[in-house]
Amino acid sequence: ELWRFRDVADKAGEAKLTLALAEAHCASGSVEGIEQALQESQEAVRLFRGLGDKTMLAAAQLTSAAVFLEKRGDVKKKADEAKQACDEAVPIFREAGEAAAEGYAMHLLACTRALSGTTEGALRAAKEAQALYAKAELKKQAAFELHQSAVWHLKDGDVDDAVATALEALDIFEDDLKGTNGEAAVVQTLVQAYLEKKEAKDAMKLAKYELDRFEESENPKGKAACQEMVMLCYIAMNNTDRAMRYAQRAADTLEEMGDRKSQGKVLRTMCTLHRANENPDMALRAAQEALSIFEDLEDTKEQAVTLQARADVYLAKKEQGRALALASEARELYSDAKHVEGEVSALLQLSS
């Protein structure tokens, strides 16, 4: 469609369509899509700057920031690029009194700070974003921002703050009669925070309550998330048999949904549980199912992680030769995916 706008010299139409294409390609999440979105968002910025349309320029900058955060490559560089885009957008939306748009800009700015390792700065920006969403009477977005803050608190080791913030977000989401995907994400964070505090009973109580809520709401994504959380609670309680039961339920739910990547991850966890139960054959079978899924999806990183899980099973069986071969294959895949941390973990496995 772009050629039509170019043919009639409709720069505004061309710019808007280019921005829409960038947003669509970014949402795809694929490597190719992100690369395409990067080019399109930058072209949209150029076009809107030339037109002197400040509001649309700011919108294009926010799309650029989101794309920068998603692209592969040097973490510091992409965080800096995203921050520059946000820095231009924020004052434009502030001057226009667009609280919701400014809130989203502050959210992206918080993400750039978190990516740079500045958790305190990320939390400050997230708090500003939450306040702006509240001002715009966007309760769900405010709850989403609270949840994001809880995630960062938990990652930074501030478990009490993570619990308090997640509970505040959950309170907002539970205003809905039916469980939502946003609520499911908060439950996952809150359960993990409780487990970090060694409060497995509280974690289990929450996970089972929410599981019932999602089953009543007929929300399969929330149901699968809570089945996984119950599984984690049983793992924390050293009850691998019941953990396995809920892992299988989660895998079945995810398969019915068509969420193959998440299904593969649960199958990999089942491999670990079978290994803990000293059932290597079942462990290897689960790992092979997971590996087949990730190969079909062409997900190099997840393939590597799964190969390491298989290597651990062979190490437990005292079959060092097979374990080393798998760990070596995993290292090569991590290298192909430019995943440095994974490559280091594979090298450590090779030296064990």
What is the C-alpha separation between 154 and 189, in angstroms, rounded?
A: 8
pLDDT in tens, 73-132: 888 999 999 999 999 999 999 999 999 999 999 999 999 999 999 999 999 999 999 999
Rounded mean pLDDT, 124-149: 97
Q: Residue 149 domain-assigned?
A: no
Dmax over Cα atoms in the chain, in whole Å? 71
Rounded mean pLDDT, 143-155: 97
Give me the chain's average pLDDT, please.
Answer: 94
Q: Residue 265 domain-assigned?
A: no
Q: Are residues 238 and 282 in the same domain?
A: no
Q: Are residues 242 and 294 in the same domain?
A: no
Rounded mean pLDDT, 191-198: 97
Answer whether residue 9 shows pLDDT above 70.
Answer: no
Structure confidence at residue 1 (pLDDT): 55
Structure confidence at residue 5 (pLDDT): 46
Q: Residue 279 domain-assigned?
A: yes
Rounded mean pLDDT, 145-157: 97
Structure confidence at residue 6 (pLDDT): 52
For residue 92, the domain's CATH number is: 1.25.40.10
Q: Residue 98 domain-assigned?
A: yes
Q: Are residues 46 and 125 in the same domain?
A: yes
Q: CB–CB of 299/334 below 8 Å?
A: no
Rounded mean pLDDT, 2-26: 78
Q: Are residues 65 and 159 in the same domain?
A: no
pLDDT in tens, 30-58: 889 999 999 999 999 999 999 999 999 99
Q: Are residues 254 and 278 in the same domain?
A: no
Answer whether residue 298 shows pLDDT above 60.
Answer: yes
Rounded mean pLDDT, 256-277: 97
- Which among 224, 151, 239 is positioned nearest to 192, based on CA atoms? 151
Q: Residue 290 domain-assigned?
A: yes
What is the C-alpha separation between 53 and 59, in angstroms, rounded?
A: 10
pTM summary value: 0.86
What is the C-alpha separation between 81 and 58, in angstroms, rounded?
A: 15
Number of compact structural domains in the chain: 3
Q: φ, ψ for residue 53 (rounded to 5)?
A: -90, 95
Answer whether residue 8 shows pLDDT above 70.
Answer: no
Single-letter amino acid, residue 185: A
Residue numbers of the domain that contains 95: 11-137
Q: Are residues 16 and 126 in the same domain?
A: yes
For 292, the token pair is 């087949």
Distances (CA, A) of 159 to 34, 124, 179, 187, 194: 34, 17, 25, 14, 8
Q: What is the CA radius of gyration of the chain?
A: 23
Q: Are residues 44 and 130 in the same domain?
A: yes
Q: Are residues 128 and 51 in the same domain?
A: yes
Rounded mean pLDDT, 213-238: 97
Q: Are residues 162 and 188 in the same domain?
A: yes
**DSSP for 261-319, written as a single string:** HHHHHHHHHHHHHHHHTT-HHHHHHHHHHHHHHHHHTT-HHHHHHHHHHHHHHHHHTT-
